[in-house]
A and B are shown apart, each in its own frame.
Chain A
Amino acid sequence: MTNTHQNDLEPFLERWIFSHRGLLLIVFALVTLFLGYQAKSIRPDASFENMIPLEHPYIVKMLEHREDLGGGGNTIRIAVVAKEGDIFTPAYLEALKKLTDEVTFLKGVDRTGLKSLWTPNVRWLEVTEDGFVGGTVAPQTDQCNVSCADEVRANVLKSGQIGRLVANNFGSSIIEVPLQEVDPVSGERLDYPGFSKQLEQLRDRYQTEHGVSLHIVGFAKVVGDLFEGVSAVVVFFLAAIVITAVLLFFYSRCYRCTLVPLICSIIAVVWLLGLLQVLGFGLDLYSMLVPFLVFAIGVSHGVQMINNIGIESAKGICPLTASRHTFRALYIPGMIALVSDAIGFLTLLVIDINVIRSLAMAASIGVAVIILTNLILLPVLMSYVRVTDSGIRAAKKDHGGDGGIWKLVAHCASPVVAPVMIVVAVVFAGAGLYLSQDLKIGDLDPGAPELKPDSRYNLDNGYITGNYSTSADVFVTMVETAPQQCSSFETMDAIDRYMWTMQNVPGVQSTLSLVTASKQVIKGLNEGNPKWEALSRNSYVLNSSLQDATALYNTDCSLAPVMIYLDDHKAETLERVVAATEAFALQNNTDTLKFQMATGNAGIESATNQVIGSAQNQMLVWVYSVVALLCFATFRSLRAVFCIIIPLSITSVLCQALMAQLGIGIKVATLPVIALGVGIGVDYGIYIYSRLEGFLKEGMPLEQAYLMTLRTTGKAVVFTGVTLGIGVATWVLSPIKFQADMGLLLTFMFIWNMVGAICLLPALARFLLKPGAHPRELANPAT
């Protein structure tokens, strides 16, 4: 061992810390109390704006026109399904009527805009010799009997609502519920989770009492379901703590060595949450992962400490000395590992999406906190408690024994096995590159990408898109004109041609704009004759045709949105729409008429995809440069950098291959994974390499030096990989799709980075660190 016992060699930091242990403990306790109090008031935040790239030109345009585009999109749609037969039965219609009434009086509902077969704003219309004749679809009766049901059937057929409010197969009908984000009277914001819960209660009640089943979709429901999913996160966190505790105990065989790192790591999480609250960051659905990460990173560094303290204690020295030795041995590699984690995370700041930035900030803060809690507090605490006898026995057995498994693993550094490992690595890298060719950008599943494909919401969404002529994926192009010109023939004609151009783009289902409305009205005014379904050159006719279509242009008639309904929101579909729009805009945009992208869920998604597509490589370059630079700064050797970085990069490639094969796209949630994985994965390499270098400096041959490395730190590294994996693996169970994706990929990254560090690093060292070169190379090390 390299420990020296002369006091003058003890760094100042160590001396100071261990001579002020009491003071430190009091300070830590006070800070924990304060930050714990702060952390209590932290609330999950599902702000929509944070998830989109606010500086992207599409989003800038969208926000510029937000007032004019209105909140038209925030609507809940409830499909009420008749369990038997069609909807034209008295029982069904009575249930629908009752539900319509109940929904009308939910808080947050815009009652005037609510639509169902029973609301007076749903009318039928007929062209007659005397003009239009119309009436409400719902008969004016108190009790709906058979003749009333027949009347509803007749009216529905004349209402044009088939495919909209009534399913194409007449098996269900929809209640359309526009919501008010802010109550106009009280100014209160809509309580999404509460609203969603009320809908769930209605769903259960109508299912059992009224013989109808409900399918509910809409942004508010997505948000509600996300919040519902968030509550599960607490359970995952507890599960992660319990599993980690059990593993720690099996590892150390010492309850003290189990509790201390756990407590220190939990303190780190408390500090993190408190700091986030104090600094005003808050937690969103993405940064919610960070406490898990911080806990896992904390434990993994704690394990390194405990491991070393156990080994020291096994020598029979007192806890204080054991802690001091451990601190001395580990605070530099620990600090470097943590700083490289933090800097790795900070590279995520290059991405112009708030949730990723706050994730990066939160993770960096968390890692900084770990430096205090697990590199300082932990050894200080351990200096008060003695490792239990069973713990010492375990450490002795491990360290003193011949470590059969480690001998086997140490062969990775042998001249025979090393080339094999290299070949295996090359094969893996090649296979990874090949399999990652299909890697896509963006969300690939239909419905709400935030939720799992088999979630209740997405099943509901599937039912509605399957039975109604509507699509959930809308790309909106904003057409800007001079004031009062949105209804001019030139504008309308250009929009008309744009719409037809887009309808010919594969993946586009239909389009809608003020042109659609105008043509329908002009046709309607001419007895429904399709030969009139065209724009008029007459400005009076055009203006008049738009009188009732005010939702399709803004108040001064300078903006008209064009809704483009898509088959899906896959990246290729969006790219085709964007390319076609760009080409059209290039030919048709003038000073007073501009086709501007984009809003609608698909428009926002294409902006996000573009940002992610360009940030992806940028981020990889950054994170690898930073990590490589840190490794170089630490070890002053390019060879060391290669030994550490190559295993990491192979894991990154494999992770991309895994994403491609599992159909997980690169998106807001998965983009940070590689940065996090690399940032944390580098720890293993740093710990192993620093030990290995130490033993090599003592003049040991590589294979023996590596065996010694494994015996001292190998177990801790394996354990670290496993703890980190477990910390995030519980996320796979999250009902929130992107959390599950993140959990899965991070688990993969953590475990494989560990395997790479243990098996590939020594093999690379065999070739990169020439045995003969060691004495000379190591003659002037930095330390």
Chain B
Amino acid sequence: MKPEVWLPAFARRVSALGEATRSVKRYKAAAVSLLISTSLSSFPVAQASTVEAKLTEAKPSSELAMPTELASRSLLLDIDRLPDSERLVAVGERGHIVFSDDHGISWKQATVPTRQMLTAAVFPTADIGYAVGHDAVILKTEDGGKNWNKVYSDLELEKPLMDVWFRDADYGIAVGAYGLILRTRDGGKSWEDLYDAVENEDEFHYNAIAPLGEGLMIVGEAGTLYRSRDEGESWETLYGEYDGSYFGLISLPGENQALAHGLRGNVYRTRDGGDNWQQVELDTDQTLFGAIAVEGDVMMVGYSGVVVKGQGVSSATPEYKSHTRADRMTLSKVTLAANGSLVAVGQGGVHILSPASSTTGVQ
């Protein structure tokens, strides 16, 4: 019998920074054979090839994402509705950006100058939007998501951006892996590194950035919680009740109320802008990657097609119920279309979770 908890076969922090190991408070093992197709018998173990720590040259940056029929059915990671518009825009792997003007039924592919995975998008106005992704790429659109330009990328960094927030068309912050945090004040023309503004010695990943009350929150790996009350200029470290990773944070109705959701069905709630956190008991232990709050209800989606519905979450007796979708596709994000249907993205692209006939609330 193998030990139930595997020791590291792979030190994740062996990164471009060139450090061999780093003390991380938990280990991860490559249990590949269980994750990938099991239909292949294995060979005698091959030596991992020796490769010099040279940075790989990127393909020409002018490469456009390949236009394909199936883009809206590829892995998509974020979906947003444009303000004051019916348009939905989703971003995902291979530089795929797709948009829909019929509440998620049909999708068109945008012209995008990268083939890298895009992880998040945000639209401060109905025309202007930003998308971020691997290679620390940042894209900007000025026509509501149809055409995109690259405003930033840094291949040598080898750090992906994970989420992006914009206050208005010009001022925004993008966060990512290994403590990556960038800010623009001029609509993406220039970006400044806020690395030193956050206390993150271990270079934990920042998984999401979201407003909370008057402030701004970053949640991330290993229970990291940061708050800024000056729009990102300075960040204070908060201490929650949880050591595992958070993948997102949503504000709830009512001053300073929010839910942070993360690994293995862990959801924590604050009523005081992040100072204190209480665990929300759920009937699932699947990881929750995305969430949306609609009035007093929330919907969270995550690993293996889990969908959690919460009703009356601001009330004294909130009710949470989960179910697993039949296709078991992992969902990354969910949003509310203009016609009231809930549209999620993840493995297999776009999934319409609830039909248009339902009211704006999450039933």
Contacts and interface: CB of A to CB of B under 8 A. Distances in A.
Interface of A: 70-72, 75, 110, 113, 115, 120-136, 159-162, 164-165, 176, 178, 470, 484-490, 493, 496-497, 500-501, 503-504, 512, 516-517, 520-521, 524-534, 536-541, 543-557
Interface stretch (B48-56, B144-152, B233-241, B251-259): B48-56
Contact of A516 (B1, B36, B263): B36
Given A490-B56, A527-B245, A521 B46 contact: no
B341 interface: no
Contacts of A549: 32-33, 36
B243 A544 contact: no
Contacts of B68: 500, 504
Contacts of A554: 43, 46
A531 B66 contact: no
A123 to B, nearest CB: 5
B187 interface: no
B243 A527 contact: no
B48 A546 contact: yes
B9 to A, nearest CB: 7
A127 B263 contact: yes
A63 to B, nearest CB: 18
19 contacts: A113-B42, A129-B26, A129-B263, A130-B26, A131-B8, A161-B38, A165-B38, A496-B94, A500-B74, A504-B68, A517-B36, A528-B303, A533-B75, A537-B58, A538-B15, A538-B16, A543-B51, A551-B43, A557-B49
Contacts of A487: 48-49, 51
B66 A501 contact: yes
A530 B289 contact: yes
Nearest to B74: A500
A561 to B, nearest CB: 9
A517 B15 contact: no
Interface string B68-94: 111000110100000000000000011
Given A530-B75, A537-B58, A113 B41 contact: yes
A115 to B, nearest CB: 7
Give the one of B30, B55, B56 with max A CB within 10 A. Answer: B30
Interface string B226-250: 0000000000000000011101000
A132 B29 contact: yes
A241 to B, nearest CB: 47
Contact of B34 (A130, A159, A530, A553): A159
B323 interface: no
Contacts of B330: 528, 530
B29 to A, nearest CB: 5
A521 B35 contact: yes
Contacts of A486: 49
A126 B27 CA distance: 13
B34 A160 contact: yes
A540 B14 contact: yes
B32 A517 contact: yes
Interface in B303-320: 303
B46 A555 contact: yes
**Top 8 A-B pairs, shortest CB-CB distance:** A548-B32, A484-B49, A129-B244, A551-B40, A534-B117, A539-B51, A489-B56, A520-B35
Contact of A544 (B10, B119, B332): B10
Given A128-B244, A531-B162, A544-B14, 8 more contacts: A110-B41, A115-B38, A123-B31, A497-B115, A531-B207, A544-B30, A547-B9, A551-B43
A536 B253 CA distance: 39
Contacts of B115: 497
A538 B58 CA distance: 11
A270 B55 CA distance: 72
Contacts of A129: 26, 243-245, 263-264
A617 to B, nearest CB: 35
B127 interface: no
B160 interface: yes
B158 interface: yes
A72 B41 contact: yes
B135 A548 contact: no
A128 B264 contact: yes
A531 B177 CA distance: 11
Contacts of B117: 531, 533-534
B239 to A, nearest CB: 16
Nearest to A561: B40
A558 to B, nearest CB: 9
A543 B35 contact: no
A70 B46 CA distance: 14
A567 to B, nearest CB: 15
Nearest to A544: B10
A162 B326 CA distance: 11
Nearest to A536: B158
B157 to A, nearest CB: 9
Nearest to A71: B41
B144 to A, nearest CB: 24
Interface in B321-347: 328, 330, 332, 346-347
A501 B46 CA distance: 29
A436 B330 CA distance: 49
B5 interface: yes
A530 B42 contact: no
B4 interface: yes
Contacts of B14: 540-541, 544
B39 A538 contact: no
Nearest to A162: B328
A127 B264 contact: yes
A550 to B, nearest CB: 5
Nearest to B329: A530
A125 B43 contact: no
Contact of A527 (B34, B263, B347): B263
Contacts of A500: 66, 68, 74, 94
B282 to A, nearest CB: 16
